[in-house]
Amino acid sequence: MSCGKIETKWWQKPQNKGRYINYQSQCPYHQKINFVQNLINRVRTLSSPKFHKECENKIVDILLLNNYPHYLICKLLKQKPKSSEPSSPTQNSKFYSLTYVKHLSEKLNKVLTSNNETSKIAFKNHATINKILSKTKDPVQKDLQSDLVYQIPCECGLSYIGQTHSHLKVRIRDHKNSIKPEQNRRNGPDPTALCTHAKLGHTFDFDKTKILTFETQKFKRELKEMISIERNKNKVINKRNDVQNLSKCYSNLINSTPRNPPIRRPPDPNHSRAD
């Protein structure tokens, strides 16, 4: 406090390593510039004028540590602060997320948005720290995973492909119940091809159920189910109407893609879902 006034100064925790978006990283150029501008504005806003010079020197050291050119740092420090008033978004704007590819993404963004003010493109990085670091959480048991497409093999060499929002063990339990004699069945008739196939004397190995992919959105999950059925159409017992909403014009494309694409990491086990 000085002359009856409270003075403030930008402060960082001792354990702060000063690591931010690196200038040489695979990020859009405007994101790097926005980061520097926001850092400068935040420091100047949080600090009293008497500390601005000291804090700006600290900013220079931090940005140099993250490989920003000295000339660019000086240029951005000399710029006048931008207005903090948020710009009004375009009515009915639609946002699309695409993987960032240097040089190509900038041209693509210009083409897609030049004549369409309602479309906004947000670029994301494919290689993230989350994908590099080891997973510290215990893996989720297979039968407790949900929002997935699964495959159940039959002793005859064919298999059944389905999808479920519930835990896998709940869906398998439903399948097992559906092939019981009617007097022992808890639910009504099961219209799935698995039930029909089992009634012909076939036996399914539920212990060897395989998870093909995960998807939380129902429409996308059903689409992935249809793609999996189409990709294995000569090895599954699914009914024809299971893929009736999948256009035949995509058959060649689907069958030319890898048979076993990598699946994403399972959902958070602590996230509650309704069965």
Q: Are residues 64 and 154 in the same domain?
A: no
Q: How far is CA 112 from CA 90, 102, 104, 118, in A?
A: 16, 16, 12, 10
Q: What is the pLDDT along the chain (275 residues), one digit of tens a residue?
A: 566 788 898 888 988 888 898 999 888 888 899 999 999 999 999 899 889 999 999 999 999 999 999 999 999 998 877 666 656 655 677 787 888 888 888 888 888 777 777 778 888 877 777 777 766 677 778 889 999 999 999 999 999 999 999 999 999 999 998 888 764 555 556 678 898 899 899 999 999 999 999 999 998 899 899 888 888 888 999 887 767 667 777 777 777 766 555 455 554 545 444 43
- Residues 183 and 117 reside in one and the same domain: no
Please state, in angstroms and rounded to a whole number, the distance separating the CA atoms of residues 148 and 168.
8
Number of domains in the chain: 3
Q: Is residue 263 part of a domain?
A: no
- Model-wide pTM > 0.75: no
Same domain flag for 100 and 186: no
- Residue 98's closest CA among 85, 112, 88? 112
Do 250 and 162 share a structural domain?
yes
- Phi first, then psi, for residue 204 (nearest 5°) are -95, 145
Note whether residue 56 is domain-resident. Answer: yes
Q: Domain span at residue 216?
A: 142-256
